[in-house]
Chains A and B, each alone.
Chain A
Amino acid sequence: KAGVTQTPRYLIKTRGQQVTLSCSPISGHRSVSWYQQTPGQGLQFLFEYFSETQRNKGNFPGRFSGRQFSNSRSEMNVSTLELGDSALYLCASSQNRGDQETQYFGPGTRLLVL
Chain B
Amino acid sequence: GQNIDQPTEMTATEGAIVQINCTYQTSGFNGLFWYQQHAGEAPTFLSYNVLDGLEEKGRFSSFLSRSKGYSYLLLKELQMKDSASYLCAVRDPGDSSYKLIFGSGTRLLVRP
Q: Which residues does A use to contact B, with CB under 8 Å?
A: 31, 33, 35, 42-45, 48, 50, 55-56, 58, 88, 90, 92, 94, 96, 99-108
Interface of A is mostly: strand
Binds A, one of B40-48, B57-65, B71-79: B40-48
8 closest Cβ pairs, A-B complex: A56-B97, A55-B97, A43-B102, A94-B98, A105-B42, A48-B97, A56-B99, A108-B42
Contact B50 A101 (CB under 8 A): yes
Residue of A nearest to B105 (CB): A42
Residues of B near A45 (CB, < 8 A) are 92, 99-101
Q: Which residues does B use to contact A, with CB under 8 Å?
A: 31, 33, 35, 41-45, 48, 50-51, 87, 89, 91-92, 94-105
Interface of B is mostly: loop
Contact A101 B42 (CB under 8 A): no
Closest CB of chain A to B26's CB: distance in Å? 14
Closest CB of chain A to B89's CB: distance in Å? 8
